[in-house]
Amino acid sequence: MIDNPQSLFVITTDATFMIIRASILYSIIGIQVLIFSRLTRMTTKKCGAKVSERTLRLQKQLGRALNIQLIIPILFLIGPFIYLISSVYLEFYFQKINNFCLIIVASHGFLSTILMLFVHTAYRKVLYGYFNGLRIFFGGRGDFNGNNMKNLSVAPSIQSVWKRNLVVTT
């Protein structure tokens, strides 16, 4: 409830322009994603005979990971956007639900980052390597997920950094 209506500043009461602009923007982005996906698939099929099976398998794996990384956040955002658009057109206002929708929309970047870390194999291996280093650092056993992480050289583990600092200081 607003106690003093004179202290409230409203830019516009008609959200039609903003909705049209957002629809055009998201349509352009959606069309670009579809074109990119289609061209990538066509190129993968065309070059499939020229590349090794391992390369083809890795390309398909990357394509699936990118699709998951795109689809899940989009599905995560559809509900709040539908609610916000329908609340404008049906002219109802619930501050708690609006705040909840905006929190969901604001957490989109966090969700995308977490998805990227777990969907892409290379990032997942590095993440497990860091967890393995933390586990050893705090006195646990190594080999966090049952895989051998000794050959992973993408980034140094906490264990290796700790050992180097320990050697330097003694």
Whole-model pTM: value is 0.53
Side-chain-facing half-sphere of 93: CA atoms under 13 Å: 4
pLDDT of residue 24: 92
Domain presence at residue 113:
no
> Which domain, by its residues, includes 156?
124-169
89, 137, 163, 169 from 157: Cα distances, Å: 53, 10, 10, 19
Any domain includes 112: no
Percentage, residues of the chain above pLDDT 90: 4
User: Residue length, the chain?
Assistant: 170
24 and 49 both lie in a single domain: yes
In the chain, the number of structural domains is 2
pLDDT (mean) for 121-140 = 76
* pLDDT tens figures, 12-25: 777 778 778 888 98
What tokens were used for 118?
């777990």
- What pLDDT band is residue 31 in, cutting at 50, 70 and 90? very high
Pull the structure tokens for residue 65: 């990971």
Span 150-156, average pLDDT: 48
- In a domain, residue 114? The reply is no
For residues 3 and 145, the model is more confident at: 3
